[in-house]
Amino acid sequence: MERTFVMIKPDGVQRGLVGTIIARLEARGLKLVAARFEVLTEKRFTEQYREHLEKPFFLSLKQFIMGGPVFLMVLEGRDVVPLVRKMVGATNPQEAAPGTIRGDFGIDTGRNVIHASDSAESAQREIAIHFTAKELCSYTRVDESVIYEY
Ligand code: IDP
Ligand code: MG
């Protein structure tokens, strides 16, 4: 089983989409392993988005992401990293397919509702930015035997 990092951004929180988004992820069969609701510190924001440090949108991204509370999650499942990226949809919601979270709930790239790790390496890095090993809960979902074929 793999793990991935997901963050419902301040626009998703403000718009009351936290429950709807978690419901989609849970209904897919993904297991919640950790979660926290908070305003990101500057340190953790910068670590999270370090690849975009030189981008023209970095400052506005920072103001936006640190401008309100976010809902952080770690999810577990088979091939969960690519699976959640597919559920999230394209970065620009205009290009995100209907049925994806961004395709159903977003319009602008700078207000695209949700973040999800883009590779197993990013997932490992991002989980470690926001959660300690102790905060990650290992347990078996009672429906795992009917969600997975083997
Ligand atoms: P991703 O979230 O789909 O992985 P990235 O290219 O890694 O997309 O960009 C990270 C985040 O930075 C995006 O989700 C979006 O919030 C923001 N962002 C990316 N490109 C732009 C842009 O051109 N204008 C404004 N914000 C952007
Ligand atoms: Mg990215």
pLDDT digits (tens, 9 = 90+) for 85-113: 999 999 999 999 999 999 999 999 999 99
Helix, strand, coil shares of the chain, percent, nearest 5, are 45, 20, 35
For residue 135, tell me if it sits in a domain.
yes
The CATH number for 11's domain is: 3.30.70.141
Question: What local confidence, expressed as pLDDT, does residue 23 receive?
Answer: 98
Question: What local confidence, expressed as pLDDT, does residue 119 receive?
Answer: 98
User: From the CB of residue 122, how many other CB atoms can be counted at a distance below 10 Å?
Assistant: 16
For residue 146, tell me if it sits in a domain.
no
Ligand closest to CA 112: 1
Question: What local confidence, expressed as pLDDT, does residue 1 receive?
Answer: 92
Please work out whether the CB of residue 148 comes within 6 Å of at least one atom of ligand 1: no
Q: Which residues contact 118 (CB under 8 A, 6 or more apart)?
A: 81, 85
- Number of structural domains, the chain? 1
| Residue with CA nearest ligand 1 atom 20 | 109
For residue 150, tell me if it sits in a domain.
no
% the chain with pLDDT above 90: 100
Closest atom of ligand 1 to CA, residue 64: 16
For residue 64, tell me if it sits in a domain.
yes
